[in-house]
Chains A and B, each alone.
Chain A
């Protein structure tokens, strides 16, 4: 275990020593500021106020740092999260094959499954760090702009309209962040799976994004509304259920068990494909 952790430390050092990793983090900050700017537009503000006041709540109490932070978080995760996770996970094996560094790794006694396990763990840690970073910066931006107050959540596709005081609201967000990271790890797994196959890093990234886009498009076609829950991105949205007044634990467990099974299947298939490959230029 100690040796595995040391090897994982090396993988993480490689991942976090790359400039591109931080360009991604900087890009998130930029997009969050853009989303914050858009949320401040009078037209958008008026829309949010109407929504709250229509339900009998004082807009001033709930258009707070928490609410804006959550809105910023949701927008940036959707816009950039998938892209950066697909980029990092899609690169993690195939780029090393392309660069020849994987050959250097395979000259060592460490087995292929161990190398994959190290890389996948590093990707999961990256996913968690990125999610935490997005959440922390989004909430910080929201607080700086709007200060404290309650949380207002409106997610029509998930059927959620909820209002919380500041403390419970923050607790719900704190509960949602790890679940969001779990959901996002599905993107990581898809990228990782493609990365294990014999293809260029860019192809692995593009295929990962394609899977997500096609899934999202199909999910939103009205004819498929009856089977909406079958789609991957619908299952990945399960984390939003923590904002319901009564958290539907059974549904959460079911959805995350499904995602876990999907991820494990992809990992096994990726590992099998990787094990069967010959590495020689």
Chain B
């Protein structure tokens, strides 16, 4: 499958402070990809480079095969984005804002396409109101509506659920799934709500202090096991021999781990085995472990 987004050895330094270092990744067409990291990890810088708002110190970003740095207008021709908090002209209506931002796409966009985007995000009855009267959730929806016109192949969403109530978060999640499912749009998003990313994303990249410390299907990460052994101390050697590693109150197992073999070895050594149970690892666990917290 072709890569919709490719980042090649991206570096960015603000003054003497490196913001990102050697970020390379590919996002195939049709994927929902999550970019995770603490504040200041480099997510916004990476998004900024992808949109041509931040110039990389080194490296290059490609969208649909076009270099953002060399052919920005081609690279962004079919891209919709919400970069940081969506901001609008408060004194204009939602519709006027939408028309203005869409006009900058340089394409003739028929009215029905604008109306369809407004309908899709559920703003139909309030689109004529001034934006100053919009709630935060409505602004997020308007931000998404403007990103959907003209119909994009790739959408970049920076904290799309930021400030939304639980219902709004669920609706946004449903909408993002629809965008991929019905329209085949590739989505790249960042969020601090790891449970949302967990439900939405096929793959994630984790940035920490400007470096990419993980990129891939986090579900493929080593399993976790809860062990209740008595006595525990003498079991250490056997656990090590099976490649188990303590992570907080559970044990990380390597690929191909054989739990039956472990139990057999423990019993043979006279250790009482009260519990050997796989523990489903959440993205939050995985994230915190990956960044070393």
Flag whether B48 is at the interface (Cβ < 8 A). Answer: yes
Which of A95-103, A185-193, A229-237, A246-254 is found at the contact surface with chain B? Answer: A95-103
Taking the closest CB of chain A, its distance from the CB of B21, in whole angstroms, is 17
Chain B, range 5-47, C-beta contacts under 8 Å to A: 14, 44-45
Taking the closest CB of chain B, its distance from the CB of A275, in whole angstroms, is 9
Specify which chain A residues have a CB less than 8 angstroms from the CB of B88 in the assembled complex: 101, 104
Could you mark each residue 1-31 of chain A with 1 if its beta carbon is under 8 Å from any beta carbon of chain B, else 0? 0010011001001100111000000000000
Q: Are B103 and A280 in contact (CB under 8 A)?
A: no
Flag whether A111 is at the interface (Cβ < 8 A). Answer: yes
Specify which chain B residues have a CB less than 8 angstroms from the CB of A19 in the assembled complex: 91
- The number of A-B residue pairs with CB atoms under 8 Å apart is 94
Set B55, B86, B96, B108: member contacting A278, Cβ < 8 A: B55
Q: Are B54 and A108 in contact (CB under 8 A)?
A: no
Set B84, B91, B147: member contacting A103, Cβ < 8 A: B84
Taking the closest CB of chain B, its distance from the CB of A124, in whole angstroms, is 19
Which of B73-81, B116-124, B185-193, B211-219 is found at the contact surface with chain A? Answer: B73-81
Flag whether B52 is at the interface (Cβ < 8 A). Answer: yes
Specify which chain B residues have a CB less than 8 angstroms from the CB of A103 in the assembled complex: 53, 83-84, 87
Specify which chain B residues have a CB less than 8 angstroms from the CB of A3 in the assembled complex: 103, 106-108
Taking the closest CB of chain B, its distance from the CB of A121, in whole angstroms, is 14
Do A280 and B87 contact each other (CB < 8 Å), given the known contacts A105-B104, A111-B73? no
Taking the closest CB of chain A, its distance from the CB of B284, in whole angstroms, is 26
Q: Are B104 and A110 in contact (CB under 8 A)?
A: yes
Specify which chain B residues have a CB less than 8 angstroms from the CB of A99 in the assembled complex: 87
Flag whether B183 is at the interface (Cβ < 8 A). Answer: no
Set A7, A14, A276, A278: member contacting B48, Cβ < 8 A: A278
Interface residues on A, range: 20 to 34
Flag whether A56 is at the interface (Cβ < 8 A). Answer: no
Taking the closest CB of chain A, its distance from the CB of B270, in whole angstroms, is 61
Taking the closest CB of chain B, its distance from the CB of A11, in whole angstroms, is 8
Taking the closest CB of chain A, its distance from the CB of B31, in whole angstroms, is 20
Give B contacts to A, CB under 8 Å: 14, 44-45, 48, 51-55, 72-74, 76-77, 79-89, 91-92, 96, 99-101, 103-108, 143, 146-147
22 CB-based A-B contacts, threshold 8 Å: A6-B103, A7-B103, A10-B100, A13-B96, A17-B96, A100-B85, A101-B88, A103-B84, A103-B87, A104-B87, A104-B88, A104-B146, A105-B104, A107-B51, A107-B76, A107-B147, A109-B105, A110-B105, A111-B72, A279-B48, A279-B54, A280-B53
